[in-house]
Amino acid sequence: MLESQTHDREHAQQEGEHIEWLELGRIGFVGLAIIVTWLRLWQPLPHFDIAGFAAVLIGGYPIFHEAFADLLSRRMTMELSMTIALVSALATLRRKNPSRIFDRAKQHPRASLFASTD
């Protein structure tokens, strides 16, 4: 019995080390993706940041996994709230400066609706 407990403890310790390395790898990948995105080192698509999107998916995987389980069990949790907020933020994300919205409005045929009355 003592031998099996020792084996179980060793196995749990090795599994814990494996999980720690996986978490550190995830953190390292997200950090590298942030640098690549910030410095714009790799952007094969002009209006979509692949490195940034991959960082969101890989970095947020534990939260997304938990949120999906909560959604299936019909529970509203912090993880589910964060996932909903993140998805909505990604859906409304503007790649460039948000002030461009107003520049486009000025070019619109009904630009007087958007013009200031100062």
Cα separation of the two ends of the chain: 85
| Integer Cα distance of 39 and 50 in angstroms | 13
pTM of this prediction?
0.59
* Phi, then psi, of 39 in degrees rounded to 5: -90, -5
| pLDDT on residue 47 | 77
Q: Total domain count for the chain?
A: 1
All residues at 6 or more sequence positions from 55 whose CB lies less than 8 Å from its CB, including other chains: 29, 30, 33, 34, 37
Tokens for 28, please give them.
């390292």
Beta strands in 1-118 (DSSP E): none
Backbone angles phi, psi at 48, to 5 degrees: -145, 125
Q: Note whether residue 106 is domain-resident.
A: yes
According to the model, what pLDDT value does residue 68 have? 94
Q: Could you tell me if residue 108 is inside a domain?
A: yes
Residue 35 domain-assigned (yes or no): yes
pLDDT at res. 94: 57
Residues 6+ apart with CB under 8 A from 17: none
118 falls within a domain: no
54 within some domain:
yes
Structural domain including 14 reads 2-113
Residue linked to tokens 């599994």: 15
pLDDT of residue 12: 57
Please check whether residue 97 lies inside any domain of the structure: yes
**CA dist list (Å): 106 to 37, 53, 95, 109, 118:** 31, 31, 20, 8, 15
- pLDDT, block means (10 residues), the chain with 118 residues: 56 64 91 91 83 92 93 93 90 58 49 49
